[in-house]
Amino acid sequence: MNSSLFYALLMLVAGLGIPVMATLNGGLGTRLQSPALAAVILLAVGFVLATSYLLTTEGLPSKLYQATTQASAPWYFYTGGFFVVFYILTITWVAPRFGVANAVAFVLLGQLIAMSIIDHFGLMGAQQFSLSVQRVVGLLLMAVGVFLVLDRSSS
């Protein structure tokens, strides 16, 4: 299997997990009567899993400390967690009230807009891909698709 196909399939599976996570965490937030507590639980489970993976694949903490002190990255590279927390809190609160499909559809639309801007300008060190006419048409078709899948009875 070539690497592009592997990456595409891996991200397809990751994308399948987003509505599942939204449904599970939205249900947990509803049952606990606290979207914030559900988000904390989700992040705690994620932290334990990510830490376990890190220690399994990267080794001892002293090696990790050395790697992080030698790395030089702009301050904004460390702010990605803000977007994760914002997403988790909002999807946990909105999905049970607005519908999982509606909530995720607008997340997808936001991702389409952000990816286009990031790629076109090569922001934050991303590989630069200019907006071509073909790409703009594809983005517009995807945006139309997002709007076609909305359930207007939930609004």
pLDDT 10s digits, 95-122: 999 999 999 999 999 999 999 999 999 9
Cα(153)–Cα(155) distance, rounded to whole angstroms? 6
Does residue 114 share a domain with residue 79? no
Cα(126)–Cα(90) distance, rounded to whole angstroms? 26
Does residue 105 share a domain with residue 90? no
> Residue 73 — φ and ψ, nearest 5°?
-135, 145
Residue 63's pLDDT is what?
A: 66
Note the Cα 41 to chain centre separation in Å: 17
Which pTM does this prediction carry?
A: 0.81
Identify the segments of the chain with pLDDT beneath 70.
Answer: 63-64, 67-68, 154-155
The total number of structural domains in the chain stands at 2
Residue 100's pLDDT is what?
A: 92
Give me the half-sphere count of Cα atoms (radius 13 Å) on the Cβ side of residue 32. 17
User: With b meaning 16 or more CB within 10 Å and e meaning fewer, what string describes 108-117?
Assistant: bbeebeeeee
